[in-house]
Structure 1
Amino acid sequence: MATLADVARRAGVSPATASRVINGSSKPVADELRERVLRAVADLRYVPNAHAQLLARPQRSVVGVVVHDVSDPYFAEVTRGLQRVATDRGRLVIICNSYRNPERELEYVEMLRGQQVAAIVLAGSGYHDADFTALLAEKLAAYEATGGRVAVIGRHEHPGDAVMPANEPGGRLLGAELCRLGHRRIGVIAGPRVLTTITDRLGGLRAALADGGVPLPDERIRYADFDRDGGARAAAELLDAVPGLTALVALNDSMAVGALTLLRSRGIRIPEEISVAGFDDMPVAADVTPALTTVRLPLVELGARAMTLALDPATDRRRVEVLPAALVRRASLGPAAG
């Protein structure tokens, strides 16, 4: 079977020139050279390598998406929006799960850059890690230099286009509601301390409680895995260490569901004895008992807007879109007990 080198040799051109002609590169090639290459292709019955053509083709058809864990309800919803836009644009999506491992995230970016995907979307939270952040920014800049596009969801130290969920304002909404209902002894179940998402949500909650004259000392905060089991463990620690809490706030709904389960196992009535609130408004939030008060973020729209930014033509300025948060009042949050 003839190779690209065979075609180049027969046409009397370099392999790079032969490749540009065969793969339809936008770089100009003289008509006479083009005819020689095409004649050599016909004479040798050369069949291009499909994979190599895909990488060389200027119209790239694949988009890489890096998430923490697509099985997490938050990222499942975001991914719905990402895929909806990608499908409408005729693009294939590759989902990469980093499982909140920064090293794996760097590896995925490098792999996607090597595959010359059309765009990379970082859909997980940023990290409070200066070395990682600098290295990630360097890899993304190298990828953009080849014509790739980058969009991020959330707060990342990357200068590209971004879609920002209103995490800090959402925390403020929840804090203001707790103050309105008379809660002064509040426990917080936070996710991993290293994530910027947690910093923003907790910062908004703290600010609203401070405005209402409600203290939130560090002893009432527990950092846990961003899942149901993490929420249950953190709720147990808070109840055992800080008696008299009237409310538990979990900074995502999965952890809030874990807290609800733990409270029921201890025979604690919700919200009569202690209230519970979450964050994100996952589909399960309306189905648990009691239904969960939470902060709603437009998760599907976050994904859709990020993919749109990634696939739209680049501009000479950074585009940042902030999508709003809303408080959803349900039965799990009531007036402070006593």
Structure 2
Amino acid sequence: MNGQPHVTLEDVARSAGVSLATASRVLNGTTNVRPDLRDRVVSAAADLAYTPNAHAQALAGASHRTVGVICHDVSDPYFASIARGVMRVAGENGLLVMLASTFRDPGKEIAYVSMFRAQRASAILLIGSGFEDRAWEQAMAAELDPYRKGGGQVAVVSRHRSLKVDTVQPENREGAAELAKALLAMGHRSFAVLSGPRALTTVVDRLGGFREALAEAGIELAEEDIFEAAFTRDGGYAAANAMLASGRKPTCVFAVTDVMAIGALTALREAGVSVPGDVSLAGFDDIPVVRDLTPPLTTVALPLEELGAQAMELAANGTKSRSRVKRLGGEVVLRASTARPR
């Protein structure tokens, strides 16, 4: 080792003045890149002596039983519960887990995949929603395809199959539809949705399933009934305040994730709005804390730890055949945050 810092894909992209996705496509041989951008990336990589496998070369011949796990935010209880399942199965297989948080930055996700490739991780897991972005899909495929061809295993949780890798898919659309039907059965006919960014596949599925079930009952969920914010507790707080400021008075509010519902509950309480006296509130995921809220939260319970365990099982027992898909359903759990409307 010469003591020089390892040059990353981010360094190359910054030097070339291009996005991480463009740098990734160029360095992985993808052809659909403008010639001038390609030249800039190649030149920057040469100047910086960038080598994706620099670490692997330095440790040539060693056997690395490591798994790179990339999630949006490890502090989010949703991801923490899934990671628990990953860790359990990894431990059973003698694998060391390296964990990275992207904070929902698609560029960081691609950069972390590149780093784990350089570290010669034996498997890479992507946990959490994918992005409704064709450029991101192409850049991610440009990283994962050569990694898989070289023997690396890849599994994803809660994404569509655009990446053509092993997938564990919670039934987000179906679960949201069942929740809508349960709320309709309680007598609700006026709804608002606190939504995360619709660039995330999970949001698209949950919002779509909820909306379609309402439409089947003859109830339209208008765009004005949807309040979009960050896919976080603070996002739920902001979305609920936006709903209150709009003057809309639904009898039931659906937050597309429990952490958003937690923020919404605080906003409603601060505004003097009683849950469920004035408005019912429901979430999605059944993260452990929602049972201890006042009132406890109605939600769609997903087997979060099992999602992680199944993904790790797929990665640990990889196959060269076509990609595999495992689907895990959720269950509507009615708790005290929802009641019949007045």
Shorter-chain TM-score range: 0.7 to 0.9
Distance (Å, rounded) in 2 between the aligned partners of 1:326 and 1:270? 22
State the partner residue of 1:301.
306
Q: Is the 8 A contact 1:85 1:308 kept in 2?
A: yes
Measured after TM superposition, the shift of residue 222 of structure 1 is 1.1
Pairwise CA RMSD: 1.5
Q: TM-score, normalised by structure 1?
A: 0.82
- The CA distance in 2 between the partners of 1:292 and 1:55, in whole Å, is 52
| CA deviation string 1:50-87 (max 9, x = no partner) | 98685534x53000011001001110001000010001
CA separation in 1, counterparts of 2:292 and 2:266?
Answer: 13
Q: Residue deviations 1:140-164, cap 9 Å, x none?
A: 0011111101101112421111000
Inter-CA distance 148–51: structure 2 relative to 1 (3 Å threshold): closer
**Corresponding position: 1:122 with 2:106:** no
Q: 1:230 to 1:216 in 2, by over 3 A?
A: same
Which structure 2 residue ranges, 5 or more long, are not aligned? Answer: 1-54
* 1:311 and 2:316 aligned: yes
CA-CA distance at 1:315 after TM superposition: 4.1
Residue 190 of structure 1 aligns with which residue?
195
Corresponding residue of 1:102: 106
Counterparts of 2:171 and 2:341 in 1: how far apart (Å)?
A: 27
1:247 matched to 2:230? The reply is no
Note the C-alpha offset of 1:240.
2.0
Q: For residue 87 of structure 1, give the secondary structure of its aligned residue in structure 2.
A: helix
Query: How far, CA to CA, are the matches of 1:111 and 1:267 in structure 2?
Result: 49
Identity of aligned residues (%): 46
Is the CA contact 2:256–2:283 (under 8 Å) kept in the aligned structure 1? yes
Q: Where does 1:52-201 land on structure 2 (aligned, <5 Å)?
A: 55-57=60-62, 59-156=63-160, 157-201=162-206
- Partners of 1:137 and 1:242 in 2: how far apart? 45
Q: Partners of 1:220 and 1:326 in 2: how far apart?
A: 25
**C-alpha offsets along residues 247-284 of structure 1, whole Å, 9 cap, x if unaligned?**
11101111101111111112211112100000000111
- Structure 1 contact 188–222 (Cα < 8 Å) conserved: yes
Q: Does 2:219 align with 1:214?
A: yes
- Sort the Cα spacing of 1:92 and 1:213 in 2 relative to 1 into closer, same or farther, 3 A: same
One-letter amino acid of the structure 1 residue matched with residue 298 of structure 2:
T
**Does the residue aligned with 2:219 lie in a helix, a strand or coil?**
coil
Q: Does 1:268 align with 2:299?
A: no
Q: Paired residue for 2:45?
A: none
Deviation at 1:228, TM superposition (A): 1.5
Q: Aligned ranges for residues 24-63 of structure 1 at < 5 Å?
A: 55-57=60-62, 59-63=63-67
Output the CA distance in 2 between the equivalents of 1:149 and 1:201.
Answer: 29
1:205 maps to 210
Instruction: Return the TM-score normalized by structure 2.
Output: 0.81
Q: State the partner residue of 2:13.
A: none
Counterpart-to-counterpart distance in 2, 1:228 and 1:298 = 21
How far apart, in 1, do the equivalents of 2:219 and 2:188 lie? 8
For residues 266 and 292 of structure 2, what CA distance do their matches in structure 1 show?
Answer: 13
Q: Which residue of 2 aligns with 1:256?
A: 261
Structure 1: which 5+ runs fail to align? Answer: 1-49
Distance 2:244 2:259 in 1: 18
Cα displacement string for residues 31-55 of structure 1 (whole angstroms, at most 9, x for unaligned residues)? xxxxxxxxxxxxxxxxxxx986855
Moved over 3 A (4+): 50-55
Task: Give the conservation status (yes or no) of the 8 Å contact 2:56–2:119.
Answer: no
Residue-by-residue CA offset, 1:194-244 (whole Å, 9 max, x unaligned): 100000001110111111111100001011111221111111111221432
Question: Is the 1:55–1:116 contact (alpha carbons within 8 Å) kept by the matching residues of 2?
Answer: no
Q: Offset of 1:322 from its aligned partner?
A: 0.2
2:71 and 2:126 in contact (8 A); partners too: yes
Aligned-partner SS, 2:281: strand
Deviation of 1:109 after TM superposition, in Å, equals 0.6
1:68 counterpart letter in structure 2: H
